[in-house]
Chain A
C-alpha cells in the first residue's frame, strides 16, 4: 500500500508546484491555454514515471560520486523519446507553443529532485507510484493555473470560446484581460496562489496549535476565542 500512499502524497501533500515549489519555469511558460498545459504535464509525467522506474531499478549500480550525471543521462534519453512522440502525435500548434520546454524537461528540478530524493532510495513499484503521484500533482497544478489564465485572459477553455455560451451580447461586452496570458499575469497569479496556500497552511497550523493549547492548558484558552475546534477542547476546555 506504499504505492497508493506515494500516489496520494504527490497529489496534495507534496504537490510539486505549490508545496515543494519546483519546476516553476514550465509551470508559467506553458499554462497559456489548458491544452498546452495538459500536454506539457502529460509529457513531464511520462518522463517522471519512466525515469523513476529505471533509476530505482538500477539504483545499486550508480557510483555515488557521479550519480547525478548518470540520472541526467537516463532522464535525457526519456526526454528525447517523449520529444519525438510529441512531435509525432500531439497537435502541431501545441508542439509549437511548447517550443523548447519539452527538451527543457531534462533540467526540470522536479524530475531530478524526485530521482535523487526518492527513486534512488526506494523500490521500483513505489517509485512508479511516486512518479504517478507527483506527475498527477503537477498536472493538477498546471490545469488549475491554465484554467484561470485562459478563462480570464482569453475568454476560452481548451480553445473554445466560452463567453459565447452566455449570449452574443455578452461576448461583445466582456473583453478578456489579455495580460493574464502574457508574462506578468502569470507571475501575479502564481504569487497570489502561493499566498492563498500559505494562508490556508497557516490557518490549519493555528487551529492545530489551538487544539494542543486547549488540551494541555485549558486556562490559556480565553472566552473570546471562537475558532477553537470542538474536538479535544470539549471535555478539557471551556
Chain B
C-alpha cells in the first residue's frame, strides 16, 4: 500500500470543501443582488459532488471500494426569487415590487460551517496518515 493514495483522496475532499465554501461565499455576497448578466436577480447556487474511482496500488478488493470525490456540477435554483415591496428601488417593477434572491443567510452560514468542518476533517485525516507514515519509519529503532 502507499500513503500517496490516501493523500490523493484527502486532497480531492479538500478541493470539494473549498468549492462548497466558494459557492457559499458567492451566495452570501450576492444575497441582495438584483441584476445579473442572464437577467433577473442572482440565483442561489449549490454544489453537487460525485464519487470517482481512485487509481491505487492496493489489492483489488479495497481498490474497488476507494472513491475520491469530484465536483459534478454547480446548479442554481431558478425559483429562488422573492418579491419585496420597495418602489424606490431602481429595479422595482411597475407594481413597486423588486425581485430579490431568495437566500437565507442562516442556511448559508450553516453550509459554511459544514464545509469548513469537512475541510478540517480532511486535514485531520491527512495528519493521521502522515503520522502513520512517520511511525512506520521509526520501526526497528
A and B interact: no
Chain A contact residues, CB within 8 Å of chain B:
none
Chain B contact residues, CB within 8 Å of chain A:
none
